[in-house]
Structure 1
Amino acid sequence: MVALSSLLLMPEIPGTDVQFTVPYAIESPGPTFNTLGSVDGKEVVRVSGVPTDQTHGNLNMTTVAVTSGITLPQAIAEGLWSENSLVPIEQIFPQNISREEQQEVNDADFAASEASATTAALHYLDRPMEVQVAQVLDEGPAQNKLEAGDVVLKVDGKKVDSPEAVKSIIEEFAPGDEVDVTVKRGERETTQKVTLGERPHAKTPTAFLGITMQETSAEGIEVTYNLEDIGGPSAGLIFALAVVDKLDDRDISGGKFVAGTGTIDGEGNVGPIGGITHKIRASEEAGAEIFLAPAGNCAEVNAMHPEHIVVAKVSTLEEAVEALEGFQRGQTVATCE
């Protein structure tokens, strides 16, 4: 499934009467932002808690501008004489939710992409991680036993360093079993006995601890992303590269003008997005030398035949770093063709 692109929602075209508009929106190239630079006096990607490395060049995340409230003549003109795209309005604003609700979804996707980018970058750099309780579910097994912010150290006496490790151990038990969970709460270490519940909606009885978890840096590394009015998950890859560039003594961008797009998960897998042709056009016009594109978007990339920018296909964060290092050395990088 192709993820929604990082969107910059534009105002409706002024002077149009809602009775004469068409149920389509215009997608066009949006602005790009250098994640190694600053916007409004703030670093776009700020890494704190440990020393950071000097960065050079550009690692630009890209957006798609969306304009709604268009008339039939405007839609016809876009279709005939523009490289912009006409898309059904429900692709941007699904009919079953309001525009405000869709904006909340986009904002949540953007925040999730930031968290995944941080985790992927720290995993790539082999930085130590720990498991933190993000939420204790109301009336769940761990209520009054564990607290949000607890760092999970051991489950059943076994050390854990990822949410997956916690889940794997819990699934060895049956609902109703007791399990010891050792956590760090502030500066104190404590072990709590939790009687496991049964996971709701599971096809077979499955033990359930009743918490949500997140991976955080065991070194106190904090990453803050400072971009507003942009939604969607597709900045994940470039955000992760910016974190890597600031923490690694290698110069990832090599002083080049790099742009790109793609979702990312905590393990560094890169996923396809929408609107990639507009993002490549915007990057080319901005002067980018290389564009990092998800391998899952190769069909759209090949259809547009970009001539003045190298479009490298990547499936993981590791492949993206390798592509940039190869480009710095003047090597041929893997492309969609």
Structure 2
Amino acid sequence: MPRRTATMLASTLMLIALLCAGVLIKVPYAEMSPGPTVNTLGEHDGEPVLQISGHKTYAADGHLNMTTVRVTSADYRMNLVEAVYGWLAHDTRVVPHDTLYPNGKTEEQSTQENAEEFSQSQESAKVAALKELDIPVQSWVIVSTVVKGSPSEGKLHAGDVIRKVDGTKVEQPSDVAKLVTRHAPGQDVVFTIVPAEEQAAAEKEHRTATATRDVTITTTTSDDGGAKRAIVGISAGTDHTFPFTIDIKLADVGGPSAGLMFALGIYDKLTPGSLTGGTFVAGTGTIDDDGKVGPIGGVEMKTVGAHDKGAKYFLTPADNCAAAAKDKPDGLTLVRVSTISDALGALKEIRDGNTADLPLCTVKG
């Protein structure tokens, strides 16, 4: 066999062997890529994303699109070829598997956590939008979860309204932990609650729940690796009663990052005129009850997804600005926002054509 032919054959066989090895070798990485983007002012799967009843609404045009990121599942293991391709591709990002699924988190656990965060983001979006419109919203501190096997199991239940702890009025979820940790482990703490079923009945009948009862729980010692302290095995959160019905219909989406865009969509539906002036605006960002916008993950993938869908402006959490600006898609303007008020101000500039005054993202933030 001629030397040249033998060399080519050996090289070909070596390349095949390397490719086979690359396919077989699993690496501890996961992949992120642009996910679907949905107009909060429009429809999804044949029904309006935002459905409001019991209050006057107005027609809205343009786009206020929430954006998403696709990620490989927790039990999927990339091979070396896929990882290299992902590193080289512009519209994907390869990250350590533990970044997306820390501490061995399973797919089921991740899905449940994302669903809970998504539900909470919807509630906060409603509150933030209504507060911006000076529409009163009633709020209560509630039991969000009860840890199985904890002293509270069977005594407190998810949805119970916490009025007092040891006779002290509770106004914020953080108040609960502060009052409980005043005790030494093993001491009793008294919760004054409105049972979840009583609260639900009161809301249905549009009245204030008044039937309370005291529940005594013996504290135990924390075992989370931090400083030892008294705990009762619950997490506290906030629940709200709205003066009219706001439903957000969007399946197969998780996480808290659509909060800002939901809040803006609700605001637009409840006010005359158009927030966007017909412009295609997309964005992302968590939002709390007071309208503060927080950072999210995968912002680079979200800007790519928004640009590919046709967005001209992208509302970007201030803490994500630097990362987003490093690899900004051509033709997409990144607008820095820290609150819902910032976002509303930016939308006014956009619809009025005063884009030179917009606060833009830079690589410095």
Q: TM-score range by the shorter chain?
A: 0.7 to 0.9
- Which position in structure 2 is the counterpart of 1:128? 136
Letter in 2 for 1:335: L
- Which position in structure 2 is the counterpart of 1:92? 100
1:139 and 1:98, CA in 2 relative to 1: closer, same or farther beyond 3 A?
closer
1:334 aligns with 2:342: no
- Which position in structure 2 is the counterpart of 1:309? 332
Letter in 2 for 1:214: T
Letter in 1 for 2:210: T
- Range with bigger deviation, 253-262 or 183-192: 183-192
* Secondary structure, aligned partner of 1:190: coil
Q: Show the 5 A alignment for 1:189-200.
A: 190=210, 192=212, 194=214
* Secondary structure, aligned partner of 1:118: helix
The alpha carbon displacement at 1:165 in A equals: 10
Correspondence for 2:85 among 77, 81, 84: 77
- Which position in structure 2 is the counterpart of 1:22? 27
CA distance in 2, matches of 1:66, 1:179: 43
Letter in 2 for 1:244: Y
* Secondary structure, aligned partner of 1:63: strand
1:246 and 1:198, CA in 2 relative to 1: closer, same or farther beyond 3 A?
farther
Q: Show the 5 A alignment for 1:315-330.
A: 315-330=338-353
- Higher RCO structure (Cα 8 Å, ≥6 apart): 1
1:277 and 1:329, CA in 2 relative to 1: closer, same or farther beyond 3 A?
same
1:118 and 1:199, CA in 2 relative to 1: closer, same or farther beyond 3 A?
farther
Q: CA RMSD in A?
A: 4.2
Conserved in 2, the CA contact under 8 Å of 1:128 and 1:217?
Answer: no
Question: Please, which runs of 5 or more residues in structure 2 have no aligned partner?
Answer: 1-20
- Range with bigger deviation, 31-40 or 300-309: 300-309
The alpha carbon displacement at 1:192 in A equals: 4.1
Letter in 2 for 1:226: K
Letter in 2 for 1:255: G
* Secondary structure, aligned partner of 1:103: helix
CA distance in 2, matches of 1:233, 1:243: 16
CA distance in 2, matches of 1:165, 1:272: 22
1:256 aligns with 2:279: yes
- Which position in structure 2 is the counterpart of 1:293? 316
Greater percentage in helix: 2
Relative to the length of structure 2, the TM-score reads 0.70
Letter in 1 for 2:96: P
CA distance in 2, matches of 1:242, 1:109: 19
Question: Please, which runs of 5 or more residues in structure 1 have no aligned partner?
Answer: 1-15
The alpha carbon displacement at 1:25 in A equals: 2.1
CA distance in 1, matches of 2:235, 2:104: 30
Q: Show the 5 A alignment for 1:173-212.
A: 186=202, 187=205, 190=210, 192=212, 194=214, 212=236
Conserved in 1, the CA contact under 8 Å of 2:162 and 2:192?
Answer: no
- Which position in structure 2 is the counterpart of 1:35? 40
Relative to the length of structure 1, the TM-score reads 0.76
1:216 aligns with 2:224: no
| Deviation string, structure 1 residues 118-177 (Cα, Å, up to 9, x no partner) | 12112221111113565497976xx69x9958797x99xxxx9x9439959x97x99878
- Range with bigger deviation, 187-196 or 308-317: 187-196
1:198 and 1:59, CA in 2 relative to 1: closer, same or farther beyond 3 A?
farther
* Secondary structure, aligned partner of 1:335: coil
1:94 and 1:167, CA in 2 relative to 1: closer, same or farther beyond 3 A?
closer
1:191 and 1:38, CA in 2 relative to 1: closer, same or farther beyond 3 A?
same
Conserved in 2, the CA contact under 8 Å of 1:133 and 1:211?
Answer: no
CA distance in 1, matches of 2:304, 2:317: 16
CA distance in 1, matches of 2:270, 2:300: 31
Conserved in 1, the CA contact under 8 Å of 2:189 and 2:219?
Answer: no
- Which position in structure 2 is the counterpart of 1:13? none
1:129 and 1:83, CA in 2 relative to 1: closer, same or farther beyond 3 A?
closer
Conserved in 2, the CA contact under 8 Å of 1:121 and 1:240?
Answer: yes
Letter in 1 for 2:64: L
1:41 and 1:200, CA in 2 relative to 1: closer, same or farther beyond 3 A?
farther
The alpha carbon displacement at 1:316 in A equals: 0.6
Letter in 2 for 1:118: K
1:101 aligns with 2:101: no
The alpha carbon displacement at 1:79 in A equals: 2.2
Conserved in 1, the CA contact under 8 Å of 2:35 and 2:305?
Answer: yes
CA distance in 2, matches of 1:277, 1:166: 33
Correspondence for 2:266 among 227, 238, 243: 243
- Range with bigger deviation, 19-28 or 106-115: 19-28
Letter in 1 for 2:93: S
Letter in 2 for 1:233: P
CA distance in 2, matches of 1:325, 1:28: 31
Conserved in 2, the CA contact under 8 Å of 1:131 and 1:151?
Answer: no
- Which position in structure 2 is the counterpart of 1:61? 66
1:176 and 1:163, CA in 2 relative to 1: closer, same or farther beyond 3 A?
closer
* Secondary structure, aligned partner of 2:114: helix
CA distance in 2, matches of 1:335, 1:92: 29
